[in-house]
Structure 1
């Protein structure tokens, strides 16, 4: 038996009884106490990094997770001790996880959520137990401190989220509580799904997971004031037009907020309100440039940093290096080295393997 098979209590999805949804289970309970946190870190590290302190290493740690993959959606049921988690830009630049993730807490919650350095720090309510749903865009960096909890998680494709939220990127890092009937209904449905999915048929699980995901997204949109009415849809359409223009002209050093306003004939106050949650249009353009630069640094390890800087619209390599260090806390060369480490040490893909169906008798 190899070392990976001996670690923890990992059960690959066994061939299910006909029509029963496949389940993948992992637990650290079979590990020695000093290895439990590290085993968990290795298991989830392909999606998000666990950041233990020196004091945490070697202490007993409890965590287990069940994963259920249905058509286009992933649902997980996780119980774990408290931990600090981070999805960094280096991680994003080296993987292909781009879903929206909704964490539904039946026990515990998040103590705080920090987004990228250019945005303000978002605090969860004073009692983490009141946080019921946390929304994350896996295409954006995040750091969060999670209390000891049980959390039901939906990995939802962007196409499904956009059916309810015209501007889904704006929900990243937001939390809601069980203050509305729709939220309570979504929470009840998610809890029932967690309790019963193991015994469902594949068809029933597909329907239940999809319905629960729709409810969670709808509840979140209503609570956050982002539901898809005509006004928000029009705003989202204009937002998309502006973003497409910026993306197409990002390489031009002369791209400025004033130029965008002039080219698209949009009023300055409208632009300001539209990008207020990004810190302004100028900050949004700078963020996109730095994000594209990070992708280029990770994807092309032999490309000169100066060439990367000019390719994304910076006027000089020194301006680029200062902006990159200010935004991400490290120089471009350090980021490139970190991203290559992620590529070399990438664990197994995060998606649960497809399980062949038992043919009909």
Structure 2
């Protein structure tokens, strides 16, 4: 890895370029090498048949302060980020995945799942603080990693775009490919401070395009909507352990009309789904933090009517039982 520091001007940003390839490994070790490379944030299931056939994968990465830009090419692969993994690490950035060639199917959410299929160039938003499952064909993609706090000024409640995709079909989005091409071509030759500025500009342009598409950015009306949405989310979060928390109780507390309230949570699968999923997330956190607390006690404390109801809901959301989740995270 090469780390450089600019010698001119007042701004001195750390800058690193690194190139990784599985080509230097024997075919049987290539997929394992890839898994070791990305294993600090993602899980890569490895079947015996995959090991025997080899795996081509490269990552050309550039890091500048709190930003990263990666150009990745791989054979077909499955990569996941589970709730169990999230509970044990500190990766909470946002990532914009830009499909260049190939096809990607990404599953996010708890229940019901959201499936986003990319078959032509476009951009997928991923929140590293939320689970996802990504199945890729042979493909090339670009990835921009940025701090989540950068998104708030242009995209209130940024976690709501997790798993969403935009294509280059709006005036704002059509500006993005030019920026991405410039970043790919000039990464190593650009002054580090200039590269950081260009990467940040591109990331914020993508964030603005997501905000425009989802109606969560721009103008007084959108700001007011985001403020109300944030207030309601905080109310729900503060009352997860209240047995009477329900869409009706939120409606009463909000003083909004029913249609207005329900529209606010459409992108979350509906208000009832949002409440249930937040309770399941809280249950997952408590399973990890309180290893001696009975599962049924956690379930009843979060408003579930029975242990069996809780177990079924938890398994649908996390693809494992509460006890298995606890075993993997404690």
TM norm structure 1: 0.82
Alignment correspondent of 1:119: 112
Instruction: Give the Å deviation of 1:105.
Output: 2.4
After TM superposition, the structure 1 stretch with the greater mean CA deviation from structure 2, 81-90 or 319-328, is: 319-328
Offset at 1:40? 0.4
SS of 1:303's partner is coil
**Is the partner of 2:111 in helix, strand or coil?**
coil
Residues 89-238 of structure 1 mapped to structure 2, 5 A cutoff = 89-110=83-104, 112-124=105-117, 128=119, 130-238=120-228
Give the number of the structure with larger relative contact order, counting CA–CA contacts within 8 Å between residues 6 or more apart: 1
SS of 1:292 mapped into structure 2? helix
Q: Do residues 84 (structure 1) and 78 (structure 2) align?
A: yes
Shift of 1:52: 4.0
Quickly say closer, same or farther: Cα 1:167–1:208, change in 2 above 3 A: same
Q: Which has the higher strand share?
A: 2
Corresponding residue number in structure 2 for 1:337? 327
SS at match of 1:122: strand
Indicate conservation of the 8 Å contact 1:72/1:157, yes or no: yes
**TM-score using structure 2 length:** 0.89
Where in structure 1 are there 5+ consecutive unaligned residues? 1-12, 341-361
Contact 1:186 1:219 in 2 (8 A): no
C-alpha RMSD over aligned residues: 2.2
Deviation for aligned residue 1:304:
2.8
Distance in 1 separating the partners of 2:197 and 2:209: 18
Asked if the contact 2:15–2:65 (Cα under 8 Å) also holds between the matched residues in 1, the reply is no
Map residues 259-274 of structure 1 onto 2, 5 A cutoff. Answer: 259-274=249-264
Give how far 1:120 is off.
Answer: 4.2
Count how many residue pairs are aligned between Structure 1 and Structure 2.
324
Indicate conservation of the 8 Å contact 2:27/2:51, yes or no: no
**Change beyond 3 A, Cα 1:228–1:326:** same
- State the 1:101 CA deviation: 1.0
Aligned-residue offset at 1:200: 2.3
